[in-house]
Structure 1
Amino acid sequence: MTLQIRKITPSFGAEITGVDLTKPLTPDVEAEIVSAIAEYGVCVYPDTGLTDEGHIWFSRMFGNLWTIGGQGTRRSRFDYPQLFEAGNLTAEGTISDDEMARKRRKGDRLWHTDSSFTKERTTYSLLLAHEVPVSGGETGFADMRGAYDALPQEMKERIADLQAEHSYNYSRMLAGFPITEEEVEQGMIARHPLVHTHPISGRKSLYIASHALRITGMEKEEGRALIKELLAFATQPQFTFDHHWKEGDLVIWDNFCTMHRGGEYDDVNHRRDMRRTTVMAYPPPPVVMDPRFADRFDAAQFEAMAHD
């Protein structure tokens, strides 16, 4: 089997067909899938037919998955802790009327990189559409390798050895969530290089986001001005595209070389059921990375793992 690839832009993003993700894949097909995400940064698989179980099984091809015990004071509506709620529904499956949750989701409308605010970080995000609103709700993607390549040499030299400090609370504050600078400082903050080398392609990439609170060692306002300048540069039209969702779409993106943001939609009156798995970059002990995950289609082991 050979993947059928349609480029979304000349060098970034691809729609992939010709593969059934609901069935076990051969090592050759797995290698093609990994190669495609390394090359294009974002891969769209339309009309996958994946269930929650299939979504998780396929995701485990890329590594160990982040697990979510709950989100804030809400209990999860999923049976599997590997699934993250990326829509607007309650645990009972109705549209949420929680105004604070709506304000918190506003931060997702800013350009960001998943989990940059954690020390461990995450590599891939795999978002599956179960139900989409009648309009809006698209996801925008930005090519951070392409953006880095296009930077003036003077800027590349300026940022080569800089580090940024990332905070989830800071991006919520930027989006209007009622939180103070003092509360941001009291929350989790993680430091990462502003420029890093993508581990598979070997290309340099910007690693920035609206989570980026400041530049280490730089005066606060100067550092935030630099982050804002880089964000504006990297999200120019030549580096971005929007994906307009259809039910069954699975989109995989590489957090080490992309940013993304959610599009506006009427989240008071229209349902959006989106479920995400997220692959850990550096799982804490005692988890041991196994690149093949030979057991991932073993139903008995999967059920035991899912209900631990």
Structure 2
Amino acid sequence: MTATAKKHTDIELPTRPLTPGFGVEILDFDASTASPAELAAFDAVCRSNSVVVLRNQALSAAQVVGLSSRLGRLSSQHRDGPHPEFPQISILSNKKIDGKLIGIHGIGRNWHTDGTTYKVLGLTTMLYGVECPPEGGDTLLADTAGAFAALPPERQAELEKIQVVHSRAVLINKYKKFKIDENAESMKDVIHPIVVASPVDGRKALFLTKGSTKGIVGMADDAAMALMSELIEFATQDRFVYHHTWKAGDVLIWNDLSTVHTATDFDDSRYDRIVYRAWARPYELVSQTSAEEEIGPAH
């Protein structure tokens, strides 16, 4: 069965659900040759779904920047494996040239979301598969709005009172990916509720990650991390998860306020993997993003 999406455009793009009630694949769409009206319809699909998939695309790096820019303003990636010509793109890859990695490798192997250390939440992630191994290297996405809705009402009410402290310093130090910026202004903690409103449909969603979590307001550290682990385990049950098996030419887009995601391992001694990633901040939030936030990792 196929569905159609129509919003702020006279063009309807055929879609099919990825899983019941969570995400769609746009069918018969070529982003490189799409008309302005078709691209507007693409925008509408992305605004109205937490996860969107395109298959069989053939995009240059410049076209990846152009397509992802439709989702919001892109930040240059100073640390996260920047593309040599288009710093708005992070290269996720184990491939080496002259003995040196062309991007970053081995990240994202735990359930998390992006954009947790911004003072004002809102982020969309887009991945484009350039070269994909025949097995492994998949991306899993969990529906945190669906997970919240599945909780008993009394549990929902309890969680809506919880505030989580997120720290960029904790995130960076935990994974040792970068040297911690000595500028204290860029390392200030931020506090976000553990239940947020999905920008897709307004439903309440769990906002979960361990990477940047420093603690929970009014809760002992051990209890705070145990609660985060408990909720991530609940939200990532199979019934809430879309499993994306990559093929070269795939585009995968998700909203970070209503999902958590993780990557699976692959045999990096046998296969090369090259994926382009772009992080987009909604244009209406750009004025609320500091210079320090722009240059740091978006997790």
Query: Deviation of residue 88 (structure 1)?
Result: 2.0
- Change over 3 Å in CA distance of 1:120–1:95 after alignment to 2: farther
Query: Deviation of residue 77 (structure 1)?
Result: 4.1
Structure 1 CA distance for aligned equivalents of residues 200 and 18 of structure 2? 21
SS of 2:15's equivalent? strand
Task: Give 2:222's aligned residue.
Answer: 221
Structure 2 CA distance for aligned equivalents of residues 249 and 221 of structure 1? 40
Task: Give 2:8's aligned residue.
Answer: none
Q: CA RMSD in A?
A: 3.0
Q: How does 1:215-294 map to 2 (within 5 A)?
A: 215-281=216-282, 282-284=285-287
Structure 1 CA distance for aligned equivalents of residues 100 and 129 of structure 2? 16
Query: Does 1:47 pair with 2:56?
Result: yes
Structure 2 CA distance for aligned equivalents of residues 97 and 84 of structure 1? 10
SS of 2:230's equivalent? helix
Structure 1 CA distance for aligned equivalents of residues 254 and 289 of structure 2? 27
In the alignment, residue 34 of structure 1 is paired with which amino acid?
Answer: D
Task: Give 1:196's aligned residue.
Answer: 196
Query: Deviation of residue 178 (structure 1)?
Result: 9.7
Query: Deviation of residue 21 (structure 1)?
Result: 0.6
Task: Give 2:101's aligned residue.
Answer: 96
Gaps of 5+ in 2: 1-10, 291-299
Q: Is the 8 A contact 2:50 2:200 kept in 1?
A: no
SS of 1:283's equivalent? helix
Task: Give 2:293's aligned residue.
Answer: none
Task: Give 1:11's aligned residue.
Answer: 21
Structure 2 CA distance for aligned equivalents of residues 248 and 261 of structure 1? 20
Worse overlay, 267-276 or 50-59: 267-276
In the alignment, residue 41 of structure 2 is paired with which amino acid?
Answer: E
SS of 1:133's equivalent? coil
Q: Is the 8 A contact 1:45 1:249 kept in 2?
A: yes
Structure 2 CA distance for aligned equivalents of residues 246 and 94 of structure 1? 26
SS of 1:126's equivalent? strand
CA offsets 1:191-210 (integer angstroms, 9 cap, x no match)? 21111112341111111112
Structure 2 CA distance for aligned equivalents of residues 262 and 189 of structure 1? 27
Q: Is the 8 A contact 1:95 1:268 kept in 2?
A: no
Structure 2 CA distance for aligned equivalents of residues 13 and 132 of structure 1? 22
TM-score with structure 2 setting the length: 0.80
- Change over 3 Å in CA distance of 1:15–1:24 after alignment to 2: closer
TM-score with structure 1 setting the length: 0.78
In the alignment, residue 157 of structure 2 is paired with which amino acid?
Answer: E
In the alignment, residue 40 of structure 1 is paired with which amino acid?
Answer: N
Higher strand share: 2
Q: Is the 8 A contact 1:118 1:188 kept in 2?
A: no
Query: Deviation of residue 37 (structure 1)?
Result: 2.9
Q: Is the 8 A contact 2:119 2:289 kept in 1?
A: no
SS of 1:135's equivalent? coil
Task: Give 1:293's aligned residue.
Answer: none
- Change over 3 Å in CA distance of 1:93–1:68 after alignment to 2: farther
